[in-house]
Amino acid sequence: MALSRTRRLRSGPDYWPGFVDALSTMLLSFVFLITVFMTAQFFLSRDVTGKDAALQKLNRQIEELTSLLALEKNAKADAQTSLSALQATLDDAKKDNAALASRLSSAEGAAAGANGQASDVAQRLAAEKELSARAAAQVDLLNQQIAALRKQLAAIEDALQASEARNSDSQARIADLGQRLNVALAQKVQELSRYRSDFFGRLRDILGNRPGVRIVGDRFVFQSEVLFDTGQATLNPAGKTQLDQVASAIIDLEREIPPEIGWVMRVDGHTDKRPIQSAQFPSNWNLSAARAIAVVQYLVTKGVDPTHLVAAGFGEYQPIDAGDSEEALRRNRRIELKLTDR
């Protein structure tokens, strides 16, 4: 190290490290912006999915009401058809009655002019009167049936109006539900953002500017070397000391966030792109997942509620530095803590 500094002093100012730092800062900022955008897209997609499910349920209810309305309209049409048929039958009965009355008059005139046929005419007259009485009874029955059908039509009309009123009420409820879902979603996102900011601020105060530990956007990042030995998924003593302070902060957070806000602390394991050479871990995915699980299990032993923890392994497929240098590979080997909704 002393020899390197002596050579730089002899050869004049070396601006290359400053240029590399500036370029690295710009690259990190770009990656951070992309990560924030993707995270926002992910949350918006989940919220819109929950809202679409509620709207689909209400739409199914509207479809059921529409089907009922169609059935009621069909019943009304059938009743109208029956009424028309009964009206036609009534008209035929009236015509028959008129014909019988005409025949009765003719029979009475014939009886006055033909005394010899009085007995036969009297019998025919009695029969005609009986037939007329039956026709009158049939007419009365038809009138009663028509009155009943009219009542039934009135009831169907009332049912149709009630169905239309329910349909209008359902549409209003859908609009109101959409507004309330938007308001509730905005409130929960705002509250969770406030608790996330408080939590990471608290961790920043606790851990300070320790090497290998930093905050990147909405994530708290540990370099893997801080918590694990190379190629291993067992926490080392120094890593347990770091996680003890994190567990204390999470427990305080559990007491502060209201129960109605669903949240989890997601622990993400990442590796570099070099294939692992270990019988215990056949791939980088296995190693990253095992490390995330080890962190979660240790936090549970320190009193963190397991329902607020999630372990995820990403292997080498989510790098934050695309370079091939040792420094780039070291940055990609990391454990990330992220407070998000459930």
Predicted confidence at residue 305, as pLDDT, reads 93
Decide which of 309 and 35 is more confident: 309
pLDDT digits (tens, 9 = 90+) for 265-312: 899 999 999 998 788 899 999 999 999 999 999 999 999 999 999 999
Predicted confidence at residue 195, as pLDDT, reads 58
Question: What six digits make up the tokens of 311?
Answer: 């372990």
Name, of 40-49, 105-114, 285-294, the range with top average pLDDT.
285-294
Predicted confidence at residue 204, as pLDDT, reads 59
- The pLDDT of residue 113 is above 90: no
Predicted confidence at residue 281, as pLDDT, reads 92
Assess contact for 265 and 257: CB atoms under 8 A.
no
- The pLDDT of residue 95 is above 60: yes
Average pLDDT over residues 312-339: 92
Average pLDDT over residues 77-83: 78
Decide which of 169 and 246 is more confident: 246
| Residue 334's pLDDT band (cuts 50, 70, 90) | very high
Rounded Cα–Cα distance for residues 121 and 132 (Å):
16
pLDDT digits (tens, 9 = 90+) for 247-275: 988 888 888 878 877 888 899 999 999 99
Rounded Cα–Cα distance for residues 321 and 308 (Å):
30
Assess contact for 225 and 333: CB atoms under 8 A.
yes
Nearest to 326 by CA among 225, 221, 208: 225
pTM for the model = 0.45
Rounded Cα–Cα distance for residues 13 and 236 (Å):
41
Domains in the chain, CATH or no CATH each: 58-185 (1.10.287), 208-341 (3.30.1330.60)
Nearest to 298 by CA among 205, 214, 236: 236
As a whole number, the mean pLDDT across the chain is 78
- The pLDDT of residue 114 is above 60: no
Rounded Cα–Cα distance for residues 180 and 186 (Å):
10
Predicted confidence at residue 167, as pLDDT, reads 76
| Residue 1's pLDDT band (cuts 50, 70, 90) | very low
What is the 3-state secondary structure of the chain?
CHHHHHHHHHHCCCCHHHHHHHHHHHHHHHHHHHHHHHHHHHHHHHHHHHHHHHHHHHHHHHHHHHHHHHHHHHHHHHHHHHHHHHHHHHHHHHHHHHHHHHHHHHHHHHHHHCHHHHHHHHHHHHHHHHHHHHHHHHHHHHHHHHHHHHHHHHHHHHHHHHHHHHHHHHHHHHHHHHHHHHHHHHHHHHHHHHHHHHHHHHHHHHHCCCCCEEEECCEEEEEHHHHECCCCCCECHHHHHHHHHHHHHHHHHHHHCCCCCCEEEEEEEECCCCCCCCCCCCCHHHHHHHHHHHHHHHHHHCCCCHHHEEEEECCCCCCCCCCCCHHHHHHHCEEEEEEEEC
Predicted confidence at residue 284, as pLDDT, reads 94
- The pLDDT of residue 11 is above 50: yes
Average pLDDT over residues 103-129: 69
| Residue 3's pLDDT band (cuts 50, 70, 90) | very low
pLDDT digits (tens, 9 = 90+) for 146-203: 888 788 878 887 887 887 777 777 777 776 666 665 544 545 445 555 555 665 555 5
- The pLDDT of residue 226 is above 70: yes
